[in-house]
Amino acid sequence: MLQLNYIRENRDAVVERLAVKNFKDVALVDEIISLDEQRRKIQSESDAIAAEANSSAKQIGDLMRQGKKEEAEAVKSKSSGYKEQLKQYTEQLAEVESSLNEKIVQLPNLPHISVPIGVSAEDNEVVLTHGEVPALAENKLPHWELLTKYDIVDLELGVKVTGAGFPVYKGKGARLQRALINFFLDQAGDAGYSEVQVPIMVNEASAFATGQLPDKEGQMYHVTNDELYLIPTAEVPITNIYRDTIVKEEQFPIKHTGYTPCFRREAGSYGAHVRGLNRLHQFDKVEAVQIVHPDKSYEVLEEMSQYVQGLLQKLELPYRVLRLCGGDMSFTSALTYDMEVYSAAQERWLEVSSVSNFETYQSNRLKVRFKNAEGKMQLAHTLNGSALALPRIVASILENNQTDKGIKIPAVLVPYTGFEYID
């Protein structure tokens, strides 16, 4: 979440930057500032009464030691109301802080100055395009037909076992999944990311800390009896490893990778764009997370973008990089690059990765801090990126590499799959 002192000291700039994300509730910003003023006023008055109470207690003690009992009793009588006053201030402070916390979490992160103005995906900025779009035969098939043709993913069986959006991978389809996961993890290890295996359910505190709650509550699967949430991405448990932690500056950059299944309700999703593997309720993903010094975070964001692009190049997939406009960015991001691969059979671009810098938005909730060179506590910056999400990668590999012999496996994956074709 945004830092109170920044909102208070930069009110107009905050309103201006929030407008880039099409957030125009100026009244909420002003209400937060007003509540913060109330909080500070109550705290100041409470501190003053507490100081008077401490002074009176010391005075009473001194008088009693001097044998001035009557004078001590007079001071005691005069200060008898301090305890009740402090209680009232404590109650008022708790009420105001509760309202303040409730309001401030409704503010999204401020977008970076380079974020384009726009309201939807149509307004995103194309940063670069790489690779040649394959020319397929006229009898090309979309991946959902290839899944059935080669019997590698059974969507209907998934419906039987669980429901729509929970596919069953079979034979070479399952081996391709495992190959991609291992390939991505090995590549991350070579790039200096430390692998972790994390829980796929998190508690409410963890979901709040990375910004999934309260913003995306309706998109998360909730285990109500235990108050746990199935993760929408490994970003959540990996980043929460450092919740309430003071790290050492020399630890930067902290780099982790992890494979998990991911779960998203995708409420309201419908139409041709969700067919087959295009949008699922359960899918596999390898995530990359970094916690870094604030001075380095945008340099690291570019490095992470290049890293993901390198994976797509090794998979021989044509792709493009987008800088998301304000209206298409996530609630928590300050700047996001999307990587999209071209699906030759569907003849459209499919998002396969988002790489984002959250600056201090997550770390303020997480309380991930470090002591800087001046010896002062400072919030770290957090970043994460899909490296990569599997469903649309699989869809693009199947569609772009269909030949008369079958589906040709990218050369870099053959050592992992043990086969060159799905036939």
Grade residue 136 by pLDDT with cuts at 50, 70 and 90.
confident
The mean-pLDDT minimum among 88-92, 269-273, 329-333 falls in 269-273
296, 203: one domain: yes
pTM over 0.85: yes
pLDDT at 272 over 60: no
165, 199: one domain: yes
Grade residue 202 by pLDDT with cuts at 50, 70 and 90.
very high
Residue 187 lies in a domain: yes
d(CA 257, CA 271): 33
Q: Please say whether the beta carbons of 339 and 350 come within 8 A.
A: no
Higher pLDDT, 250 or 218: 250
Question: Alpha helix locations (H) across 287-372?
Answer: 297-314, 361-366
Residue-level pLDDT at 267: 58
Residue 114 lies in a domain: no
46, 149: one domain: no
Q: Which two tokens stand for residue 186?
A: 């090995």
Residue 251 lies in a domain: yes
180, 38: one domain: no
What pLDDT, in 10s, does the model give residues 396-420? Answer: 999 999 999 999 999 999 999 999 9
Residue 295 lies in a domain: yes
Residue-level pLDDT at 273: 65
Cα three-residue angle 14-294-103, rounded to 5 degrees: 35
Residue-level pLDDT at 68: 87
Grade residue 63 by pLDDT with cuts at 50, 70 and 90.
confident
Residue 112 lies in a domain: no
pLDDT at 366 over 90: yes
d(CA 310, CA 315): 9
Residue-level pLDDT at 338: 98
Q: Please say whether the beta carbons of 321 and 422 come within 8 A.
A: no
361, 275: one domain: yes
Domain of 237, in residue numbers:
121-422
What pLDDT, in 10s, does the model give residues 274-321? Answer: 789 999 999 999 999 999 999 999 999 999 999 999 999 999 999 999
74, 126: one domain: no
305, 330: one domain: yes
94, 130: one domain: no
CATH number at residue 192: 3.30.930.10
Q: Quick one: average pLDDT of 178-200?
A: 98
206, 273: one domain: yes
d(CA 64, CA 58): 10
Residue 108: asked if its preceding bond is cis (omega within 30°), the reply is: no
Q: Is 48 helix (H, G, I), strand (E, B) or coil?
A: helix
pLDDT at 269 over 60: no
